[in-house]
Structure 1
Amino acid sequence: MALARRGPVFRGRSHTAPARARSGRAGRSWRRSGVSVAALVAAVTIGISACAIGPDPGPALVPGGGGNGGQTAPASSSAPAKAPELRAPANDLPWQDCAAKVSGDYGAPAPNGLRVQCATLASPVDPDRSQTTLSLALTRITSPTTPADAAPLVLTSGTDMPSSRALLLLASGAGRSLLDKHPVVAVDRRGIPQSTPLDCLTRADRAAYADNGLTRGASEDRRIGDLASAASDAADACTETLAPDQLAFGVGAAASDLETLR
């Protein structure tokens, strides 16, 4: 068997330079120790010939592959955790009847035979850093058969439509049967007129938005310029008015309001 002689190995640094530095001295050492080299080669050859011929079969496979002495692990008998039971809130808000107000706000009749109530909830503007609170408008509708100990369902519709209006439509339509099992509470999104409205636009800006930039005799370029100018002015005004909480009216802040209600 032919053996390839390997030079010394240096960990953590290149072994090329030290090998050249010692080449003369190492060569003389190998020549003087011819007998020792021959003995070393013979010992290595004997050691190799004593090894088994053929590929190493490797360690024996473990039946099951999952440990435990090759035995299959017993199936878990623990059942998944049950969801917590929904209950009526221990501390309720001071609800007041407001069917006439809600009906007048949206120009829609209040659903017959149902009780419409309103309340307000103080919620932190920024729960992480602000001690200032804002007021959220809540609307609750129940039926005569709604259980007193039933957990309320919360309705939120975003910014396109006030949640209180969506609840009014729900109770007047197919969702009326839901009220026989649970009261439904609508949370109007912060920043809309019902819940701490954002009001930082001038009359001129509002007029430009309402008219879509159209004025008598205005060209298309002027119309685009008027809208762009109104948008820029509104952005600057709202930033100054709402600072330092100008970013506290997004989806994350609205979600924190639901946690406050919870």
Structure 2
Amino acid sequence: MKLTRFFLFSVFTLSVLNCAELFSSKEDQNDDQLILALLVGARCPTTSVSTPTVGTRFDFTNCTGDANLALAGSGFQASNVTLSGGIVGTSNNSTIITNASSLSNSGGNKKASIEIVYQLNSASSTISAILPSTTSFGGPGFLIRDIRADKIVNGTSSAFGTAGAPWSSSVGQEKTLCLEIHEEGAGAHIFGWQGACATVDRSAYQFEEEDVIVILSGDRVALRINGATIKNMTIYNQSIGTAGSFL
């Protein structure tokens, strides 16, 4: 009898959530997905990190349950992705974006810092890391390619002013990048490194562009995953780069 009651309650709860989704706003839908994710146990493991600064690491290789629900339970909205050893995307329509602000809380200007571990499936595969992003995936960022990263400004990618040496092809191999964008005056400073944020030289950037004319209107972290797998991502609460003044 208890098992029957539990089953009926579960069915009723899921039905209510499904009905609510039909008549709610997009924000309400995100809330419904989060509740449903908790009910069915869908999730992606997270851990707190403190090196080189405070942040949260999302392990996408060990998510459980449906991709959309698992990511919703971890604070992301997803579209056209699957889970198989990480978040798998097949085109620029394969996206994830944080549901809440993911900016650094240091200083008065907008700053966003992430570490991303990924694998590209072919030489034409790309990952667009937009930070800080609007909910419509607008904002500055990085176009990650097989042998280098380019900057994204106003929806267009181009080589960094200081591009750094290209790396050997990363197709089919796990690769780690540390990426950061700072609002500075009327524009932004976009820079990054190969390797984990905890091990890079924080005072010297391997690829960068200063004084980029762009408006940082968003506060999320977003990825477009075109023919690639995202293994894990760390979103930091503080700045990584230390060259110059970022107060």
- Structure (1 or 2) with the larger CA radius of gyration: 1
Structure-1-length-normalised TM-score: 0.19
Q: Which has the higher contact order (CA 8 A, sep 6+)?
A: 2
Q: Could you say which structure has the higher strand fraction?
A: 2
